[in-house]
Amino acid sequence: MILSTSSGDFPIPPEVATQLPKVPAVPDPTMPQYNEAKRAFAEWLDSAPEHTIDFERLRRWHLVQNELAAAAHAEGRTFVVTEDGLD
């Protein structure tokens, strides 16, 4: 798995990947049949409270990782994806 950030793309270590919530990809507006995909995603999100929680956890994790990657890049350090932000 790869994490895409504003600072680049980074491999997600297997021990981190196993901790990530299982969430379907947010539909890309440029994809064919976007409206159907958007509707299916919204239905998945609304189908269980846990789905909303998992989506928010994954979103927050991505924001934290993006910030950590940017800081590492600015300081000239190597960035390694972590579980930071999943709590």
**Structure confidence by residue, pLDDT tens digits, 25-46:** 999 999 999 999 999 999 999 9
Establish if 44 belongs to a structural domain. Answer: yes
Return the percentage of the chain with pLDDT > 90, whole number: 99
Establish if 40 belongs to a structural domain. Answer: yes
Model pTM? Answer: 0.88
Domain containing residue 63: 2-24+33-75
Establish if 85 belongs to a structural domain. Answer: no
87, pLDDT greater than 90: no
* Chain mean position to CA 27: 13
Q: Would you tell me how many other CB atoms lie within 10 Å of the CB of residue 78?
A: 7
Question: What secondary structure letter does DSSP report for 83?
Answer: S
Establish if 83 belongs to a structural domain. Answer: no
**Structure confidence by residue, pLDDT tens digits, 56-75:** 999 999 999 999 999 999 99
Q: How many domains is the chain partitioned into structurally?
A: 1
